[in-house]
Structure 1
Amino acid sequence: MSKKKKINLAISIAQVVVQALILYNTYQQYKYSKKY
């Protein structure tokens, strides 16, 4: 695996992780706002 491929893979994984965190935060806020 070339260095460029590895970097692209790392970027892809990072983007997925970021998206998941954003979704998780949004869900938590939604749950929190529903309580009050």
Structure 2
Amino acid sequence: MNDLAELAESAGSQWTGTFNPRPFSESEALEVYQCAY
């Protein structure tokens, strides 16, 4: 699961997250990854 946390950290800081209609941060990214995994 540590890999998911690293991916979430990276995803939460991506500039592409600014186009997401919902707030998107590291914690939201981790939730998405955990649900998908």
Instruction: Quickly name the TM-score band, shorter chain normalised.
Output: 0.3 to 0.5
Could you say which structure has the higher helix fraction?
1
Q: Give TM-score scaled by structure 1 length.
A: 0.38
Larger radius of gyration: 1
The higher-RCO structure (CA 8 Å, 6+ apart) is 2
